[in-house]
Amino acid sequence: MRIPGYWRNTQFFYRLAGWKCVHCGAFHHYKPVVCKRCGSREFAQAELPSSGKLITYTIVRSPPRGFELFAPYAIGLIELEDGTRILSQLTDFKENELKDEIKVEAVFRRVRINGDQGIIEYGYKFRPALRRS
């Protein structure tokens, strides 16, 4: 691994956190008014595991506004180690590396450039796990 990449990851490592429905366990990135899955209004803060496996993915070639610089890019459905399923952009892969069920891990990356002022937003993406054990 190159040194600048290493330091960027350790300095800004971003934990996957959000809200879990107390009743059905559905995960929400932002605290919702009602659970999309079961209609409950009770949520608990939750931290998610930072690794899991890739269930499926798609390559986006016509991106929404703000994501043009990243196209084409891949969006994956990921099942984390605790069974939570989330959608996330994928990064740091060669196209032949993306297969269903491969192990993936969260990394902190630039996720989009916002508007004409070029404000850069950071967040997590997933990449194929470096340790495949």
Can you give the binding site for Zn ion, defined by CB under 5 A?
21, 23-24, 26, 35, 37-38, 40
* CB nearer to Zn ion: pick between 28 and 53: 28
Residue 43, C-beta contacts closer than 8 angstroms, at least 6 positions apart? 19, 20, 21, 22, 28, 31, 32, 35
Q: Shortest distance, CB of residue 17 to Zn ion, whole angstroms?
A: 18
Say if residue 72 is preceded by a cis peptide, omega within 30 of 0.
yes
Q: Shortest distance, CB of residue 37 to Zn ion, whole angstroms?
A: 5
Q: For the chain, how big is the Rg over CA atoms in Å?
A: 16
**d(Cα 24, Cα 126) in Å, to the nearest integer?**
25
* CB nearer to Zn ion: pick between 34 and 71: 34
* CB nearer to Zn ion: pick between 26 and 129: 26
Q: Shortest distance, CB of residue 33 to Zn ion, whole angstroms?
A: 12
